[in-house]
Amino acid sequence: MKGLLLVTHSNMCQGIKESCEMIVGNQNNMKTVSLKEEGVEIFKNELESTLNDMLKMYSDIIILTDIPNATPYNECYRFKLSHEKDNIFILSGMNLAMVIELAIYSSSDMEVEELLTQVLETGKMSILKVWLEEVFTKLI
């Protein structure tokens, strides 16, 4: 089983985890760490502690962050580089569809690279612009 870590600003990661669990059930392999007003040092310590615990439990860890090149992403990347881990994978730009996909397939024997490719595709496909005219046309 792969470990999943959601890392975001504020409480976004907890909300996405709760929404995911409402849809697919409890996810014992999914953890969250959020950057809050207390500051970056507290966040870094919590992130490092969580990742170190997860490394003891899972052969692979997939981290999803909210936006690329912001503090949550940067600190995850810094951890990966400083620990020289090739079993930590980072995706950024998370949405609920991606998290649900990971929750469903994290216990499968699917190769990590294949899973990451599938999750990225799911994330892209879940982003749509709905035109008002289309909605009305379909209702008539």
Could you tell me if 61 and 89 are in contact, meaning their C-beta atoms sit under 8 angstroms apart? yes
pLDDT at 140: 59
* Average pLDDT taken over every residue of the chain: 94
DSSP 29: T
pLDDT at 85: 87
Those residues of the chain that have pLDDT short of 50 are none
Three-point CA angle 46, 114, 3, nearest 5°:
25
Kindly list the distances between the CA atom of residue 63 and the CA atoms of 85, 103, 129, 137, 138, in Å, as whole numbers in the listed order.
13, 12, 27, 40, 38
